[in-house]
């Protein structure tokens, strides 16, 4: 079972979002190598808070009916997935 302790929707300062990538938090982004130039179309960051909590941020340039999502799976086949 997955539990979300908190959920916020808002506009984060982009410099803050990119800071600490690869140092205090992991970052996955598109297009390739966009983190250094701070010009990513979409990005997810993750940081272990303690043994039970991982902080996750998602960012994307979206408009109209577009959206961004993150998927979780317990196996490489994405059989039992949770989309957030």
CA pair distance 39, 18, nearest whole angstrom: 10
Segment 55-80, tens digit of pLDDT = 888 888 888 888 888 777 777 777 76
The residues, ordered by sequence, that sit 6+ positions from 66 with a Cβ below 8 Å of its Cβ are 60
Instruction: Look up the pTM and report it.
Output: 0.69
Specify the pLDDT at position 30. Answer: 92
What does the domain layout of the chain look like in residue ranges?
14-83
Segment 21-63, tens digit of pLDDT = 999 999 999 998 999 998 899 999 999 988 888 888 888 888 8
29 neighbors 40 (Cβ within 8 angstroms) = yes
Output the CA torsion sign for 67, 72, 75, 80.
negative
Q: Which residues pair with 35 in a beta bridge?
A: none
């Amino acid at each position: 079972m997955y539990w979300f302790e908190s959920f916020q929707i808002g506009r984060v300062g982009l410099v803050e979002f990119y800071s600490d990538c690869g140092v205090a938090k992991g970052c996955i982004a598109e297009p390739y190598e966009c983190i250094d130039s701070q010009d990513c179309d979409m990005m997810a960051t993750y940081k272990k808070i303690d043994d039970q909590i991982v902080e996750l941020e998602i960012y994307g340039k979206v408009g109209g009916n577009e959206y961004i999502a993150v998927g979780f799976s317990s196996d490489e086949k994405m059989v039992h997935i949770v989309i957030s």
